[in-house]
Amino acid sequence: KMLVPTLRPTANSSGFPLLVALGFLLVALAAVLRSPNDLGWSTRTVVQLPKISRVRCFAETSPRNAPSVPSLPFEGEVKRRSALVAGLTAPITPLSLSFAEGFFPQTAQASLLTAQQPVSDPRELLRDALPINNKPIRKIQKEIFAKITEAVRVPNVKMSEVQDAVSQSQKVISKEKGSILKDVQGDVAKKDAQASLASIETKLGEFQEIIDTKDKQEIPIKQQEILSLIERIETDMVAGFPFKIPDDYQNMPLLKGRAKLEMKVTCTQSTLTKGGTMTIVVDGFNAPVTAGNFVDLANRKFYDGMKIQRSDGFVVQSGDPGNKQTGFIDPVTKQLRTVPLEIMVQGDKAPVYEATLDDVGRFKDLPILPFNAFGTLAMARNEFEANSASSQFFFLLKESELTPSGTNVLDGRYGVFGYITEGKDLLKEIKQGDIIDYVKVVDGLQSMVNLGQSAPAEDANAAVTPSMA
């Protein structure tokens, strides 16, 4: 079994004395009882955080199939989020997880469905992450997504909540149409936005008919139709690339917008499927270096024919080409190409580079691209080397107890750069040893800078028409 990091409270951690006392109490209870099941706890296998296949800082010469080195304690993490009490090594249980959450609550503000339920829909996360600030269109978006999604979550759909969402959206369009259109970029886009608003008004009228007939099956269908139109308007509001990319990364492949990719996988281990395709959207507005690196590697066909190298119920991971340096060797420089840890924080104008949020003392801050969704895409790296990511990536399997939204040990520590938007059910069937037939770019190459080259670089901050994928 692989271990999660053992979290080590610091002397000034909030609630530290109480944590220690309760920790000893749990140990005493475990000694008295025959097993955790005597308390009604359900034991689970503890899993290892994503990392490079071979951790060079621990064992450079260890064989490829040797057991992974357990993760070691790291400072500061307990201030922000915790899954275990220091010194306890028992399998994670619902009690130990909720105990930690009680002392270290973290709730993302920009990606909330309700105060208790963070957004887990990848398309809504990507809509939230667009660099725009138009309050009327955001109001409609939240009414249609958040309020209706919450209304249909319960066994008996709250039609009154659906009605309220539709009515509020109609009022916003009626009163704020001009405010919405003024932020749309370009005359052609404005005409398109006008047509989209007209379609939204029509579909809101159709929604009223669904409410009157109480047709529960049609609600999510109409909801998605409207959200697609909202997304179209919002993408037309993006006024170019939102920040200056640091000079240190000017020579690297950069994505100044978004790109859509398709990954086809052949499942050799599953009895339920032979494989299929997944659609991935990567976000260069918030992670231009990380997303650009991935798009460049896909365009080089780097991942084509590669095996899935880890699938353990926590993540699905691949990208290790099998060389000594466990990453992409640039054919021009003959050196391992790595990318910095890159995290855009809510409210910031540019990403934090080369450090975790804990490293820079931002324990309570949360990223714009969180680990909220099943199929969240991020780069794997060495545990203590923030800038060691190269080509290895992982998809998060959201069901894990270790990853409740806003309280997990991944946000602010690993760089998210995209989400699976279609075909994510295939991810559940992918096993270690399955084959990635290809990862290809469907849209977005026009937003790439320095594609497929090392040096000399193009001007990374030159104007590029951003793709919205």
Q: Are 82 and 100 in contact (CB under 8 A)?
A: yes
Residue corresponding to tokens 């999604």: 149
- Tokens, residue 54: 């071979």
Q: How many other β-carbons are positioned within 10 Å of the β-carbon of residue 396?
A: 27
Q: What is the largest CA-CA distance in the chain?
A: 74
Domain with CATH 1.20.120.290 in the chain: 122-237
Predicted local confidence at residue 383, as pLDDT: 86
Which pLDDT tens digit goes with each residue over 253-297? 999 999 999 999 999 989 999 999 999 999 999 999 999 999 999
Domain with CATH 2.40.100.10 in the chain: 247-449
pLDDT averages per 10-residue partition of the chain, 469 residues: 30 48 59 41 48 42 33 36 31 27 37 63 96 97 95 88 96 96 96 97 94 92 97 96 94 96 96 96 98 98 97 95 89 94 96 95 92 96 93 88 69 96 96 97 96 57 57
Exposure letters 333-361 (e unless 16+ CB within 10 A, then b): eeebbbbbbbbbbeeeeebbbebbbbbee
Predicted local confidence at residue 467, as pLDDT: 59
Structural class in CATH, domain 247-449: mainly beta
Predicted local confidence at residue 24, as pLDDT: 60
Predicted local confidence at residue 44, as pLDDT: 39
Q: How many other β-carbons are positioned within 10 Å of the β-carbon of residue 283?
A: 26
Specify the 3-state DSSP secondary structure of 367: strand
Which pLDDT tens digit goes with each residue over 322-369? 888 789 999 999 999 999 999 999 999 999 999 999 999 998 898 999
Predicted local confidence at residue 326, as pLDDT: 87
Q: What is the Cα–Cα distance from 51 to 414, expressed in whole angstroms?
A: 10
Q: What is the Cα–Cα distance from 90 to 400, expressed in whole angstroms?
A: 17
Write the single-letter amino acid at 240.
G
Predicted local confidence at residue 406, as pLDDT: 62
- Tokens, residue 431: 């096993």
Q: Are 294 and 319 in contact (CB under 8 A)?
A: no
Residue corresponding to tokens 């420089």: 333
Q: What is the Cα–Cα distance from 176 to 53, expressed in whole angstroms?
A: 53
Q: What is the Cα–Cα distance from 185 to 134, expressed in whole angstroms?
A: 12
Q: How many other β-carbons are positioned within 10 Å of the β-carbon of residue 160?
A: 10
Could you tell me the pTM of the whole model?
0.77
Helices (H), 183-218: 187-213
The domain defined by 122-237 folds into: Four Helix Bundle (Hemerythrin (Met), subunit A) (1.20.120)
Predicted local confidence at residue 220, as pLDDT: 94
Q: What is the Cα–Cα distance from 151 to 456, expressed in whole angstroms?
A: 54
